[in-house]
Structure 1
Amino acid sequence: MWITFYTMSFMSPADAVKTLERDLQTIFGARLQSLIAYGQRHTLAVVDTLTADDLRACARRASAWHDAKLTTPLLLAANEFASALDAFPLEFGAILSDHRIVSGRNPFAGLSVDPADLRRAVEVQARSHLLHLREGFVETRGNSDALAILIVESAPAFAALLQSVSRLDGRAAHGPAADAIAALADVHEISGAEAERLFPPYLEAVEKLVAHVDTWHA
């Protein structure tokens, strides 16, 4: 058992995806239409049908997939796929822009994300970030250490927001203040003094992003 864990843990991303493909072939057989990889660890499987038994079979293998440093694959029935693009334009827009076909047909052939759907999704993302940032600031009760935690914990979501806005525009739409916060996405701690300095331009940058997205037209 220890040897199995060791092997899975140190498997390369490409080998891990191939192992996932074999597992999904075992579970779905000919019903597996496509397996898509995106990023280093993420996958999407499109299948003819998806049952509770299929999900149970996947659940039994989930620990091995995670040991191989893969996230749980997204599973979609073929009849759900096109409507999923409309419902999740940000997520599927990101997959569309950077993916590879592991097996089967290309489910994205001839498909695109509607710019209007993408704009609405980015607006929701931006406004939500602004509201949570304001709420979080009030809840710091003026404590600079709490403010530092707020900034560090919100930085990854802000970096994702910047990526979404860039995808909408096709170009970067932010400045030095926004870049300074996005650079904290992989940082675990900043000082209270630094937080006091960073927060005002951070808040202003988010407000400007909301205004920008609100008035954006394709």
Structure 2
Amino acid sequence: MADELFAPPSYLPREGVEALACPCGNHKQLTVVGSWGGPLTLECPCSSPFRATSDAPWAVNLLKRLILWHADATSELRQLNDLIIKQHTAHQIYRDRVTDLVDNGAATSTEHDLRALMHAPIPDNYLLPLALAVARREERETRPMRLRRALREVRLTPEGERLRYAGGPLTRYLIRGMTALADSDDRDLLFTEEARCLLDTIDQVTADVREHDPGPTAAS
């Protein structure tokens, strides 16, 4: 979206995760063409052939990710697992710092410390609803089925429309990891060590969020 390639100039950037789409509305059967380090070309098999090329940083990075994914599907799972752990650690450090300030009445903190915490991007009001959705288990629901259902529950757009999510870095990486696992048509991939590790990380992180993070009402 950064270079207005797939949207009119009035588009305003938003924090979140969403699917690229052809002007015809299709976002499920797009073809990406390109080589490592080169521009990304997006094609759609619609009645009005759509083809767009971008060398924007986000497009080149996306192309590299897709190439790695095509060569080794577990590479994406490993990367997302590391990113979720990294963002969760940052989230815990921030949360512990806030707790310390509250418990000690900010006696050892400067005014600058308090202002920095007030304007930090964490807490994320979308994180707890996502964690609660992941935790709920329905009868005979497998872990991939549970992730697909949780993703449906936290979408900002109605079913059948272009995917749209919101939230901070940890929420976004959790959604990316959940999507990578839930949308996988390769059953063998779901039984790899990398998939099991990512599933465990998602469960552990969301369990920690449910235990320690206040809801939007409590935070306000």
Query: Comparing both structures, which one devotes a greater share of its residues to helix?
Result: 1
What interval of TM-score do these two structures reach, taking the shorter chain for normalisation?
0.3 to 0.5
Q: Which has the higher strand share?
A: 1
Structure with the bigger RCO (C-alpha within 8 Å, sep 6+) is 2
TM-score by length of structure 1 reads: 0.33
Question: What TM-score comes out, normalization by structure 2 length?
Answer: 0.32
